[in-house]
Structure 1
Amino acid sequence: MKRTVILVLALVLADSVAAHKAPTHKHAQLVPIPAYRQPYGEAGAQASLQAAKAFLATFDEAARDQFMFTLNAAERAGWSNLPAGIVDRTGIAVAELSDVQRGLLFDFLASSLSEEGYRKVMDIMAAEAFLSNDRRARRLKWDPQNYWISFYGIPSTDTPWGWQYGGHHLVLNISVENNRVETMSPSFVGTEPAVFSLNGVDYVSMVDMHRAGYAVYSALDAEQRAVTDAERVPRDVQTGPGKDGAIPSVIGISASKLRNEPKALMLSAIRKWVAIQPSENAVPRMAQIESELDQTHFAWIGDSTLNTPAYMRIQGPTLIIELLSTGGNVGENASGKGHYHSIYRNPAMEYGG
């Protein structure tokens, strides 16, 4: 259930507008998104809070009520990675923001994510701009303006709150408590295409995650690879949207059976997802995962070739990571350029637990 959130802020920018009255811009003005910067200091809960207040101050109360929800609102779990032409979203879209508000939104994302995480957002939105030139883009609403931001709870230093940013191939769910980032579970990161050029800029998205998984597999001996075999490439990740609370059967090989090298490579692969969030949570989170590594399983099928079917699952007591290379494309203009889906979950700490 939505609720009106009244924020008492010292500064209200002169261009405050209701979201439905904000101008709409073409994607040429949007991609690439602004370069990563930290206007409020190192990314983390404190910087995120300041950036959120600056962004929210540009809206009147009625407009804020469109994209601010109670902490445990049902809308928080209603996310999807599908195109906007298939699944409607809640929140406020990039398309509805003024130029000033767009800048403040990206300041907020940069203040809330690591530089690596912000780059993921940049690459995924650029891929969406690439798809916007496909003949089916209008029907499926492939457009980098079709990404939404929403807040859950009131951003503050002493109460839990969270935010969600997403659209096609992207959903980030970040939860804050005690003025620290607590979790980014569940979060979905994907892309189509993965390797492409747009407006003179070259992009490579998620290929590093694919190769990191294959590096673990490559470091195993023949007997271990047989145990690791995931048997088939599923149609999609098994713990994606609508699968909150689902715990798949454990498959693959236990890290307790591995030598030091594949164990280290396994941690490196996991870090590709964990490092999306700022270090104030990424560092302790990696320490927790490392302490549970011998209870964590790795499964793989496929190779490292772009645009071929492959699947990885890393699953432990507080971790589920899935990576899928679909081996095909939906967008005709993306043919042969890669298509990835992935999910990161901490089953013990979803949406802040």
Structure 2
Amino acid sequence: MKLRYRFLGILFFLLAMTIHGQELSVLANNFIETLSPELKAETLMNLDNEERLKFNFVPIKRKGVTFKDFNETQKEAAIALLKASLSTDGYKKTVAITQLENVLIVLENNELKMPDGSPMRDPLNYHFLVFKDKSNDTFWGWSFEGHHISLNFIAQENKILSSTPSFLGSNPAIVPSGPHKGKEVLKEESEMGFKLVNALSNEQLNKALISSQAPRDIISGTRISAENLEPYGISYAELSTSQQKALKDLIHVYINNYESEFEKSFWDKINTSGVEGLSFAWAGSLTPGKAHYYRIQSPVILIEYDNTQNNANHVHTVVRDLSNDFGSDVLKAHYEESHKH
């Protein structure tokens, strides 16, 4: 337990630090160079390794190194890479989700175990993998994954080209007791969803409400390739001006988790594809405290939010880029160009 609190102290300290001006690729190389040969062998993989396309958000056995493997220098280097790859809000949410593992340890009396007998809830059990392109070292990627977090990045040198799929979850959604009682990590995602659905007229709600029952989980699941889901709900064009703004504001909550340049490029992609292609669908309760679900989609993006488990106190959210998850589009173009020479 002392190690966990020491780790949290490092996170809070680094949260106050600034790393602006440091290049992403430099931070990645700095992290790799802190590792021993043994840890480096567990961390580095080829960009075409199938492990890069594995996407999950439950406590399972994973490849890669974790905070449990790191000394202080390695922790700091790993966190610097994580922080540079996200916005301030995205980083704060990610850190807060890892801290919820300590809440679950108390709520579950530390009884849940992995198949190997290790604790299922562990704020240090988050895995890093770095992927290199053996044919072109300007393309690279990395992932950070564990319980309720899956972040996947593809970059060309210092520019992030893909940050999806990205999954953030929260259990409990609202901490029910203890020193962190009332803490709600994904609060905006919940409140702004309810704000939008309850701003709809009865006629609009008839189009947006796709089911009186919320699905048990996000429908896109952990599939490598995501696609639009039916029914679509209500279209952007069928919303009033204020409702359209509320929908864009809700999308912003998710896109704002990304590093600023990638956030801008993702917004540009959504706008270029046509905001009129956006739709909003809701299922389940229209009031907090009961199972509910919503999704936002267009030809290029799918966002899902689900809060049904643990008496509707357990949130799952995901963002999928329908044209470039795992950097599939940019890497395809890169490999096709490479084969011309």
Tell whether the structures are fold-level matches, with TM greater than 0.5.
yes
- Whether the aligned pair in 1 keeps the contact of 2:53 and 2:224 (CA below 8 Å) is no
Structure 2: runs of 5 or more not aligned: 115-119, 329-341
Structure 1: runs of 5 or more not aligned: 1-23, 330-335
Cα distance in 2 for partners of 1:88, 1:318 equals: 32
Correspondence 1:73 to 2:73: no
SS across alignment from 1:88:
coil
Which of 321, 331, 348 matches 2:303? 321
Q: Root-mean-square deviation (CA), in Å?
A: 2.6
Deviations 1:281-314 (A, max 9, x none): 1022123323422111100134565542110011
User: Under a length normalisation based on structure 2, what TM-score does the superposition of the two structures give?
Assistant: 0.85
Which of 246, 256, 259 matches 1:265? 246
- Whether the aligned pair in 1 keeps the contact of 2:194 and 2:287 (CA below 8 Å) is no
Amino acid at match of 2:299: P
**1:352: Cα distance to partner?**
1.0
**1:346: Cα distance to partner?**
0.5
Deviates more, 1:294-303 or 1:135-144: 135-144
Cα distance in 2 for partners of 1:247, 1:254 equals: 14
What pairs with 1:223-238 in structure 2 (closer than 5 Å)? 223-231=203-211, 232-238=213-219
Which of 34, 37, 40 matches 1:64? 40
**1:61: Cα distance to partner?**
3.4
Correspondence 1:124 to 2:133: no
**1:149: Cα distance to partner?**
0.8
Cα distance in 2 for partners of 1:227, 1:82 equals: 33
1:99 corresponds to which residue? 72
**1:50: Cα distance to partner?**
2.0
Cα distance in 2 for partners of 1:56, 1:25 equals: 26
Which of 77, 80, 87 matches 1:114? 87
Bigger helix share? 2
2:258 corresponds to which residue? 277
Correspondence 1:342 to 2:317: yes
User: Under a length normalisation based on structure 1, what TM-score does the superposition of the two structures give?
Assistant: 0.82
Deviates more, 1:30-39 or 1:92-101: 30-39
Correspondence 1:254 to 2:235: yes
Correspondence 1:54 to 2:35: no
Cα distance in 1 for partners of 2:64, 2:75 equals: 14
Amino acid at match of 1:350: D
Cα distance in 2 for partners of 1:243, 1:318 equals: 15
Cα distance in 1 for partners of 2:123, 2:73 equals: 17
What pairs with 1:149-228 in structure 2 (closer than 5 Å)? 149-153=128-132, 159-177=138-156, 179-196=158-175, 203-228=183-208
Cα distance in 2 for partners of 1:349, 1:131 equals: 34
SS across alignment from 2:92:
helix
- Whether the aligned pair in 2 keeps the contact of 1:174 and 1:351 (CA below 8 Å) is yes
SS across alignment from 2:77:
helix
Kindly tell me: are residues 41 and 154 of structure 1, through their superposed partners in 2, closer, same or farther at Cα, counting changes over 3 Å? Answer: farther
SS across alignment from 1:65:
helix
Kindly tell me: are residues 137 and 114 of structure 1, through their superposed partners in 2, closer, same or farther at Cα, counting changes over 3 Å? Answer: farther
2:337 corresponds to which residue? none
**1:206: Cα distance to partner?**
0.7
**1:253: Cα distance to partner?**
0.8
SS across alignment from 2:196:
helix
- Whether the aligned pair in 1 keeps the contact of 2:216 and 2:309 (CA below 8 Å) is no
**1:37: Cα distance to partner?**
4.6
Kindly tell me: are residues 249 and 114 of structure 1, through their superposed partners in 2, closer, same or farther at Cα, counting changes over 3 Å? Answer: same
- Whether the aligned pair in 2 keeps the contact of 1:113 and 1:276 (CA below 8 Å) is yes
Kindly tell me: are residues 39 and 284 of structure 1, through their superposed partners in 2, closer, same or farther at Cα, counting changes over 3 Å? Answer: same
Kindly tell me: are residues 217 and 201 of structure 1, through their superposed partners in 2, closer, same or farther at Cα, counting changes over 3 Å? Answer: closer
Counting matched residue pairs gives 317
- Whether the aligned pair in 1 keeps the contact of 2:270 and 2:300 (CA below 8 Å) is yes
- Whether the aligned pair in 2 keeps the contact of 1:308 and 1:328 (CA below 8 Å) is no
**1:49: Cα distance to partner?**
1.7
SS across alignment from 2:306:
strand
2:6 corresponds to which residue? 29
